[in-house]
């Protein structure tokens, strides 16, 4: 039996595999992955030396924990396939038991019942209740909202354990996502909509802000490559300063903004333009869209 299987071998799954192996959380022999794209499967096998599966059902058969990493528009098809996995939501037939008996010694783990598998989902907007409906009411489910910086080991993830999941399941999920950054456990699944709007979609807000600053500097005469370089370094330096400083954001702003100076002039323009309201509106729109996906 594998310790963790991936259904979906896209960028996030690849980042998790890289982090888990790079930090020594698992070895290659602990992992298995499936993907609809044969080329993607072969890439994972070639780059990480892990086992690959031709079907999602094979991943369920061979792994104690299954991480579902597919796009929201594909989730119903995947759940239908998993629901049809022999023994997942009902006792297997005698023929299915015999088929299990013909598997290799590492694969004879008994019937694939939902309570014997932990399912971790990173599919945006898909609720625990919706997953449980397809995987069976006894399914141990943990829902996770990661973000794109996980692909460089700087991710931020929030997890929520379903009603049947154990504390050990929660700890397992935290271990997986701590391998690519930081991870926190929440008690209320409804908070994942706010998490999606903040850390899930948040990297795009930062990219937009950096682009806007660089474009504005170009308009003031700086070469484009230099403007981009300086904007990125400014963001990184400010983030590091906020992380290390004992001052809150408001106090740090006051340190930089001398009375009557250039920063104060810029901040006044932000206020006049309703910058805080724009950000609040954007975050609210993302949270509302997350709620819509959940329904």
All CATH 1.10.3730.10 domain ranges of the chain, comma separated, are: 202-294
Average pLDDT over residues 231-250: 96
- d(CA 248, CA 235) in angstroms, rounded, equals 17
Q: What is the mean pLDDT of the chain?
A: 90
Domain 4-192 has CATH 3.20.20.140: no
* Listed residue (157, 153, 164) closest to 192, CA to CA: 157
Residue 260 pLDDT > 90:
yes
Query: For the chain, how big is the Rg over CA atoms in Å?
Result: 23
Average pLDDT over residues 165-190: 97
* Listed residue (37, 40, 175) closest to 118, CA to CA: 175
Domain 202-294 has CATH 1.10.3730.10: yes
All CATH 3.40.50.720 domain ranges of the chain, comma separated, are: 4-192
**What is the model's pTM?**
0.85
Higher pLDDT, 83 or 149: 149
Average pLDDT over residues 166-177: 97
CB neighbourhood size of 237 (10 A) = 10
Which pairing describes strands 155-161 and 140-145: parallel, antiparallel, or unpaired?
Answer: antiparallel
pLDDT at 109: 42
Higher pLDDT, 6 or 73: 6
Per-residue pLDDT tens digits for 268-281:
999 999 999 999 99
* Listed residue (21, 23, 40, 42) closest to 31, CA to CA: 21
Number of residues written out for the chain:
295
């Amino acid at each position: 039996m594998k310790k963790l299987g991936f259904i979906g071998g896209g960028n996030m799954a690849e980042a998790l595999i890289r982090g888990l192996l790079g930090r020594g959380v698992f070895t290659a022999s602990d992992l298995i992955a499936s993907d609809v794209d044969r080329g993607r499967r072969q890439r994972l096998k070639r780059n990480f030396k892990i086992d690959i599966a031709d079907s999602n059902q094979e991943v369920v058969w061979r792994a104690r924990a299954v991480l579902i990493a597919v796009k929201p528009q594909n989730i119903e098809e995947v759940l239908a396939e998993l629901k049809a996995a022999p023994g997942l939501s009902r006792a297997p037939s005698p023929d299915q038991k015999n088929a299990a008996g013909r598997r290799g010694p590492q694969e004879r783990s008994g019937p694939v019942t939902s309570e014997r598998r932990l399912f971790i989902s990173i599919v945006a907007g898909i609720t625990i209740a919706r997953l449980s409906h397809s995987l069976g009411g006894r399914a141990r489910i943990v829902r996770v909202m990661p973000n794109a910086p996980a692909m460089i080991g700087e991710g931020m993830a929030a997890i929520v354990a379903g009603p049947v999941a154990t504390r050990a399941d929660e700890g397992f999920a935290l271990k997986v996502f701590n391998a690519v950054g930081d991870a926190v456990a929440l008690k209320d699944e409804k908070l994942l909509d706010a998490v999606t709007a903040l850390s899930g979609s948040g990297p795009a807000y930062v990219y937009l802000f950096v682009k806007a600053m660089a474009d504005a500097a170009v308009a003031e005469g700086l070469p484009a490559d230099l403007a981009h370089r300086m904007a990125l370094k400014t963001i990184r330096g400010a983030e590091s300063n906020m992380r290390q400083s004992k001052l809150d954001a408001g106090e740090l702003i006051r340190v930089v903004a001398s009375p009557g100076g250039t920063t104060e002039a810029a901040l006044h323009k932000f206020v006049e333009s309703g910058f805080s309201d724009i950000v609040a509106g954007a975050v609210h729109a993302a949270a509302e869209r997350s709620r819509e996906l959940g329904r």
